[in-house]
Amino acid sequence: MPFNLDYISTFSSSHFTFGTQEFLTKNQKRLLTTKEGNLESQWDKDTFITAAGRDVIVIGGGDTGTDCIGTSMRHRCKSVVNFELMPQPPMERADDNPWPQWPRVYGVDYGHAEVQAVYGKDPREFSVMTKEFIGDDEGNLKALVTQNVEITDKGPKAIEGSEREWKTDLCVLSMGFLSPEAYVIEELGLDVDQRDNIHAVYGDYRTSAEGVFAGGDCRRGQSLVVWAIHEGRGLAESCNNYLLQKREDESVASRSTGAFANLSSMSPRI
């Protein structure tokens, strides 16, 4: 289930606001070649999404956000800024983040390092929330307006008077999703966890509905593609075992029914 982005619906792909799927996928396909070494994509430079010479803003972090930053650098963008909603993590584990929890500490990924090496500054801006997208007279994106935020028990809270305008003509949305599509869960009557992901035990992958299995992002939440591949393989094995067991159970039941049927046709001895 994607985030509600009605407030930027005015700026379609032709106006230089893109999701990471479109931006990264098209770039990757451009690089695909056949076994003869020819470009397979037959890409059209007039429709290809390029960051070359543009002021790029990437909204959202994580591995995907880093990939968007790195790809923009390879396109030779004019500048790149990365908005992070959460505050900058500490350099070392905080008291409320003990082992074996995942360490929530400040780190520099390859995309951040490349920007710092070229422009002399880490591209990330922490504790920032996008408030408004501004277009020119032709409807093309020209700037974003942000507000600083503080994290409260009720979630991010905008700080009044902290508005700032950022020049940009290419914005990439790297915000992931909230949860799996609800209609699938509702139609199948599946149990969900506290984050509204489909509830299924790792390694088993069976859901609350008989014969229905779940793995990957819909079970664990948004994650890396390698996890989706790993869980997909495990899910396939679990599903195969389920079907084999079901066939065995049906075969045993059939044999048992047949045996008793023969006995019932026999006359009792006196």
As for how many domains the chain has, the answer is: 2
Query: 143, 173, 203 — which closes off a domain?
Result: 173
- Tell me the CATH number at 110: 3.50.50.60
pLDDT along the chain (270 residues), means of 10: 48 55 78 66 68 94 91 95 95 94 93 96 96 89 95 92 95 83 92 94 95 94 88 96 93 71 53
What's the pLDDT at 9? 44
Asked whether residue 270 is domain-assigned, the answer is no
What's the pLDDT at 46? 64
Asked whether residue 268 is domain-assigned, the answer is no
Q: Residue 106's CB: how many other CB atoms inside 10 A? A: 12
What's the pLDDT at 39? 62
Query: 173, 206, 227 — which closes off a domain?
Result: 173
pTM higher than the cut 0.75: no
- Residue span of the structural domain in which 224 resides: 182-255
83 contacts 146 by C-beta, under 8 angstroms: yes
Residue 62, CA distances (Å) to 80, 86, 188, 198, 222 in order:
16, 12, 32, 22, 11
